[in-house]
Amino acid sequence: MLSCLLGLRQPKLDDETRAFFRDAQPWGFILFREACVSREQVRALCADLRATVGHDATVWIDQEGGRVARLKAPEWPVWPAAGKFGEIYAKNKEAGLEAAYLGYRLIADELRDIGIDGDFAPVLDVPVEGSDKIVGDRAFSADPKEVALLARAALEGMHDGGVAGCIKHMPGHGRATADSHLALPKVAAKEIDLANDVFPFAQMADAEAAMTAHIVFEAWDPDRPATCSPFVIEEIIRKRIGFQGMLMSDDLDMHALQYALNGGLTERAEAALGAGCDVVLQCSGKLSEMQITAKGCRELTGLPLVRARAVEAFAKRQPREFDAAAAWAKFKLLLADFAPA
């Protein structure tokens, strides 16, 4: 298997893409909004992807709730952004934790029903005053301790639903003053201040997977974004935070890496994997770009393969017994009880 997850933005595989996936053998796939039209269609697409590569590949999605949701109404329910759970927690801690658990448990139930077994959530970033709005209400709270508690509840909900999670964006995106989709953010905060950023990740260091941030942290490595920094990955993520799970890059197509590195997608994949990422994400859905990315990837072997198998174990677990109708009723009641006056 190749050390990458490749994006799909079409509801059905065409022959060329199918042939490429069969030959390249990517570790997994990521579905975007354009690939998700109906429940029946997504089930068929997931089955086709797995049949094409000849193994039970993990299929992922960005379904955080709020503005980051690839499954759209009216075909699928609307879930609130993570910040809503933080608002409830501020009024009633027990209710906030229960709402976070139920919200992500219900997301997991929907994902498993259509053949998706990995979700790029929860977000552990801690936004600060003056930061770019790319995080905003995607964050549970501006308090790192609250972020850790609510994210733990969310991840437990996903696990109980038989879906793997991926904490993000390690070691923290909350201080970025630019959107890394569009620019290369540089964080000048001192080491002592960055302790707040890494705190939630350290509390969640036992998570099965994490996604990196395309951000330069000048206190740690002034020349390279975290995704491509051996120092940040080894000394901060692996040692200081203590994370030993599968480390995935954020999308290689994002402009942050275009500004940070010379070369194209092949070189970005090589840089991220060379720095210590286990797999890379390439999300454009364009066949030519997937082919270029694959040239910079490597076979999953050794510790990266062990980590991949551990993630697969989370993704393939049977969900715990669950009354979805009762859970939805309770979830909606919690949202209504703590709605703004």
CA dist 145 and 173 (Å) reads: 16
The Cα 236–Cα 195 span in angstroms is 11
Selecting among 14, 181, 206, 337, the annotated active-site residue is 181
255 is catalytic: no
First to last CA, the chain: 53
Prior bond to 171 cis, omega within 30? yes
Distances (CA, A) of 109 to 114, 163, 243, 331, 338: 9, 8, 27, 14, 24
Cα–Cα distances (Å) from 162 to 68, 92, 117, 240, in that order, read: 21, 28, 7, 29
Active-site residue, selected from the candidate residues 250, 251, 253, 278: 250
Ranges assigned E (strand) in the chain:
2-8, 26-31, 58-61, 63-65, 68-69, 118-119, 164-165, 167-170, 186-187, 209-212, 216-217, 246-251, 279-282
3-state secondary structure of 256: helix
Beta bridge partner(s), residue 128: none
Query: Is 137 tagged catalytic?
Result: no
DSSP-assigned beta bridge partners for residue 31: 8, 61
Q: Is 292 left (phi over 0), alpha (psi -120 to 50) or beta?
A: alpha
CB of 166 closer than 8 Å to CB of 247: no
Which residues, including other chains, have CB under 8 Å from residue 19's CB and lie 6 or more apart?
A: none
Phi, psi of 279 (to 5 degrees): -140, 160
Q: Catalytic residue positions?
A: 181, 250
